[in-house]
Structure 1
Amino acid sequence: MDTFTQLLSFITLPLVLYFVITTLVRRYRPKRLYVCSLDSQSNAYASLLPVDFYTKPQQPGNNDGGYVYPSDTTTVLEQLRMVVATLHAQRALTSLDPYNLIDLHERLAYTNSNDLVNWFTVQFNLFTGSISALGTDTHAALVQDARELKKLGCFALTEKNAGVLSGLLCDTIAYYNQDAEKIMIHTPTDDAKKCWISYAGNNDIEYAVVFAKWAQTNVSNDSKQVSVNTSIGKLFLTPHVVAIVVKIRNNGAVLPGVRIEECYTRSDFRSNSFGSLTFTEFSTEPENLLNRYCSLDTKTGTLQVDDCYPKLFFKLSNRLLVGRLCLSATAIVCAKMVLQLVRKKVYNSKRSQFSYITDHLQLMQQQICEMDYYFHRFIKRFKIDPSTSVDIEELLERHIDEILLIKAYIPPLCRNIVAKCRELFGAESLLAHTRMTESHASCYASCLAEGDSVVMAHAFVGQCMRKYKHMSLRNWRLLWLMMKILSTVPAHKRISYINAHQTEVMAVFQQIAEGIFQNQGIRSDLHSVVVPTAIH
């Protein structure tokens, strides 16, 4: 027994000492002061402001209290055209690489309405970016027209039965009709129709990048292939999803084979005419297939996919990875702007004497600085020298875990910060010119768009367990969950188990994420950012 006690002490004592020492070092090690500006007044930002930004509030009879951004579709589109013209003049739109798009989203979020930022990301990242990244020289003319806003488009991925909460699925089908020499797109069921497609209900939108599962004759002789009935007979679904750019309107008139239904009136993003798309044996030219990573054999109607892309869909959905970073960037900007408003009000009033308020301000600024530091350090990896031949798509795939972490952590935290700021700001947060309600809606939308943040958190935890990442005593929840799953859950039921235990998985994610963001060795000081002496 004495030998066992000595052995136990010999093993446990070093572990306890290690834990105590590392905890003390982590707690008392000096942290670098990190200052992230809460607002931006440089010329690069001011040049993107609406032309009436300073004059409109001074007009006789204006009772807005400040500048209120318009939300009607016509005015937002006019402002978007002016912004894009300015960016072209500044040569800021010569590249659609991730770093440049993220930088532009930050500039626009500071200076323009969330309606405009939303339209910009749909047009330049999802629509134009998809054609540029997935298409070939055949589509170069359309890309150029889209960059100049001569052609407006949307991104048709989400379906009624496959949205952000149910994962990236696709039931719309596409196949080749050899007799007509056309690609056919068809919505087989009501659940397969494209829904919540941004701007699809707007008559100015003429094009759509449509994602559909490819069907063809059974060339693999696989008895497990699922069959579908089409206008040319029985076909079999392949594992591949293709992207096809199609024209859905001509001079505002919807083309035959497409039915577009506009969404009901929204409380937020009122300029965004969400719509649903239903295709009934809709035909389009074979050249409209975005074929950088695949090709179509028009003699057999067979899709040819390189062996290095076993699931073409994951290659096509890389535009969502860029979008997740852009949305996170705009969420941080919203949190910064709202916190700055609260600080101006508190530091110019007697409310600054209450520690309840100042403690919240200190905590929120520290959280914003941690997010800002991690985010901008991460996106530098996508700042690429044009003279080098770097595959952007491979670079995105290489950092998919960090992108999942950013999308799952930053927008929800920014949403919570904006909500707390509205509480501290009081009744004035209801006023339109403060942009607090608008910023709150934007952060909420950032949590849902291009992959729900909860789904991203689940995916991140799954990646940690699959790759054995972030395994440490500090992340004891991850270790416990992994041990429980490996020891008690059969292999074929593990995904279902994770989906059914969302609260536990989210607790695991939160522990990992907070450990990453809060242990970067930086600190924030409320007085490190100058607060104006008067409220403007």
Structure 2
Amino acid sequence: MEDLSFVPDLPTGPLDVYRSTSSFNWKRLKLALEGDIELLKLKYKIWQTLEKDPLFAHPVETPSIQEQQRITQLQLKKINEYKFISNEMFNASYSKRTRVLMTINEAVQSINPSVSVKMAIGIYLFSNALLSLGTERHLKFYEATIKNREILASFSLTEVAHGSDARLMRTTATYDPARREFVIHTPDFEAAKCWIGNLGRTCTHTLVFAQLITPDGTHHGLHGFVVPIRDPDTLETYPGLIVGDMPEKIGVNGIDNGFIMFNQYRIPRENLLNRTADVTEDGTYESSFSEPSRILGAALENLSAGRIGIMQESCHSISSVVAIAIRYAATRRQFGERNNETPLLEYELHQWRLFGYVSAAIVFRLYIENFTHKYLAIVEKSNAGHRVDNLSEAVSEIHALVSCSKPLLTWTVLEAAQQCREACGGHGYLKCANLGDIRSNHEPTVTYEGDNNVLSQQTGNWLLRQYEAALSGGTVDSPLGTVAFLKNYNTIMERTFQCRSTDDMKNPKFIISTYKWLICWLLKLTHRKNEEQISKGLTKVQARNRSQVYHWRTLTKVYAEYLTLLFSLESIEAKEKNLQPVLMNLFSLYGLWSLDKHLVELYQGGFATVDMPKLLREALLELCADVKSEVVSVADALAPTDFVLNSVLGKSDGQLYQNLQKAFYSKPGVFERAPWWRDVVPSAKSKL
């Protein structure tokens, strides 16, 4: 057994009543969720180091936007100085190095999401793009970014008038053979690049995606260019650019999201990222792909890594909000017998409100841990030049998987933050509860790096291709095995509900098999609706648009839920045995909690009987009762340290009211007369 003494013990207090009923060691579960003891050690090292640094102290009151941006930039600078990634880690394998970088970003995100976004965009996403889209001539930018921290970058894709529809973006990069330069130009404000993190105040370079035009006037589609923006010594913007900081946002205001317009701005020819295509000195376009859409696809594929990062950060956000709500529910007493108030955690309604999100937090963590290993293994082999069987098909499946999982996770976390806020009553509305800030800082994830509703459509396209292949007797291209079951489509569709007890409902085999049936049915329903629209004379695009509501969108959500169950179950079966009972209960709870939302489809397709809703909901409530004795320790395993959690309601000592009193009393000027009292007392001026 690994030595987990580096994980601090929790203080004794009111929460011990529930902690004593747990069947497992919370530290062992924390390690199981992390998946690697060295990464867990690194996370605690970061948290403990930053807790001692006054620069990372939590402000009592919200600073101005300018101050938030200043503090965020200083914190990033200090994190770079701490050098949490050692030379040994930096020289490790691609997979190991990437997981270390992800761990650092996750640890920082828990303290200040603005800093983690700044790191993710300005260092990791930019450097990954250089590796995946660039060649040897761009290594100087990579070294300056990832190793020496001389460059802080941004990612300029979105424009004012175009976000998800990247093909119609209008920023141009026209090659000038006389000077061997590209001329970047913005035709009007609608084509201004906007919402670009780090661009508003701080970045020195940006990765611009622009329409490449050769001297003969041919448009070759969107390509990536490394573009210098500011003098690194003064942060003054270079001539030929209009760069501005965007207005105040709902959250994450430490990030200086900006907009930029180019006025015939010149960059060297070599700044074109040329792995997929290049322009010779005389202006000849050379590409390894014949279709511009494939070039765009290769460029945007780099975003998968960013979306996986968003999912990992979402796991930390949901872990924090459920930990706060559960600890509060265990210590907050309301109603009950005379002189013996009952903890909120004992009420079935409260369990039903929260425990589904607790189970989601666990299942999501196990899913991402397992999937990230598989994803990085494929990328590492590919980057090293090793043969990867069915690489193209694997990339397509990964893209489909990420394109529906990012929406599922980010939406679920947003719902969880709101439900947990409400479950903490009025006290949950306090800023020092931290539930509001977690929610506001998480909210942009449902939009950036792919609007959820638009992004998930790409998954639907891939699923329907596999369904059509299965129907025609062709090959289902699923190297990761997520839809390999489609080859048994006819057999699966013959199944109906057969459970006789709640124990049957809780069985993972029932949950997984029901999801397979549900995916098959939704594929049939969606395909039929799409074909009906085409038969009416609609184009493929028009038919797809008419098939979204209740079809395409529901299909991709169900597939995403199935993925979380499939990968997390595989992960649970590999964990230590004494953790498996609680993990299996949480797995079944998440599975039934999710299926409960799809009873209409289960009836519609003929799977469900009149007994199914009753048994499903009875099983769900039984699982809530079973989980109750374990849930505080589950929350302990999910929660970061008190400093990181930063919640007056969620402290690990359980001293709810003492902590609230301290928060009330520590507000600046709490007991003083308002400094503006003279402005509101009519007689004040006459007495002076």
Question: How many equivalent residue pairs?
Answer: 480
Equivalence for 1:245: 226
Structural mapping, 1:440-519, within 5 Å:
440-468=439-467, 473-475=517-519, 476-490=521-535, 493-504=539-550, 505-518=552-565
Ranges in structure 2 where 5+ consecutive residues have no aligned partner: 1-27, 333-342, 468-482, 494-516, 570-583, 587-626, 637-651, 660-688
* Code of the aligned partner of 1:189: D
> Matches of 2:41 and 2:432 in 1, distance apart?
22
**C-alpha displacement of 1:108:** 2.6
SS of aligned partner of 2:424: helix
> Matches of 2:53 and 2:185 in 1, distance apart?
51
> Matches of 1:39 and 1:401 in 2, distance apart?
25
Equivalence for 1:46: 44
1:431-457 CA distance string (max 9 Å, x none): 444432222123311111111111122
1:88 has 2:85 as partner:
yes
TM-score between the two structures when normalised by the length of structure 2: 0.63
**C-alpha displacement of 1:65:** 11
1:324 has 2:304 as partner:
no
Structural mapping, 1:197-346, within 5 Å:
197-202=196-201, 204-218=202-216, 235-238=217-220, 240-250=221-231, 251-299=234-282, 301-307=283-289, 311-346=294-329
**Could you say if the C-alpha distance between residues 192 and 279 of structure 1 is closer, same or farther in structure 2, counting changes exceeding 3 Å?**
same
**C-alpha displacement of 1:351:** 1.5
- The structure 1 residue matched to 2:354, chosen from 352, 357, 361, is 361
SS of aligned partner of 1:244: strand
* Code of the aligned partner of 2:257: F
SS of aligned partner of 1:439: helix
SS of aligned partner of 1:410: helix
> Matches of 2:376 and 2:33 in 1, distance apart?
23
Ranges in structure 1 where 5+ consecutive residues have no aligned partner: 1-33, 219-234
Equivalence for 1:534: 654
**Could you say if the C-alpha distance between residues 211 and 70 of structure 1 is closer, same or farther in structure 2, counting changes exceeding 3 Å?**
closer
**C-alpha displacement of 1:396:** 4.5
**Could you say if the C-alpha distance between residues 353 and 264 of structure 1 is closer, same or farther in structure 2, counting changes exceeding 3 Å?**
same
SS of aligned partner of 1:188: coil
SS of aligned partner of 1:497: helix
Higher relative strand content: 1
> Matches of 2:67 and 2:47 in 1, distance apart?
15
**Could you say if the C-alpha distance between residues 494 and 136 of structure 1 is closer, same or farther in structure 2, counting changes exceeding 3 Å?**
closer
> Matches of 1:167 and 1:501 in 2, distance apart?
22
Contact 1:125 1:322 in 2 (8 A): no
**Could you say if the C-alpha distance between residues 46 and 144 of structure 1 is closer, same or farther in structure 2, counting changes exceeding 3 Å?**
same
SS of aligned partner of 1:48: helix
User: What is the RMSD computed on CA atoms of the aligned residues?
Assistant: 3.5
Contact 2:404 2:557 in 1 (8 A): no
Which stretch shifts more, 466-475 or 285-294? 466-475
**C-alpha displacement of 1:104:** 3.4
1:79 has 2:80 as partner:
no
Higher relative helix content: 2
Structural mapping, 1:15-164, within 5 Å:
42-49=40-47, 53=51, 64=60, 72-84=68-80, 85-89=82-86, 91-94=88-91, 99-110=99-110, 112-147=111-146, 148-164=148-164
Contact 2:206 2:227 in 1 (8 A): yes
* Code of the aligned partner of 1:453: N
TM-score between the two structures when normalised by the length of structure 1: 0.80
1:268-315 CA distance string (max 9 Å, x none): 11111111111121111111111222221111x122111477521211
Which stretch shifts more, 248-257 or 378-387? 378-387
Identity %: 16
Contact 1:50 1:79 in 2 (8 A): no
**Could you say if the C-alpha distance between residues 407 and 390 of structure 1 is closer, same or farther in structure 2, counting changes exceeding 3 Å?**
farther
* Code of the aligned partner of 1:312: I
**C-alpha displacement of 1:89:** 3.4
Contact 1:38 1:337 in 2 (8 A): no
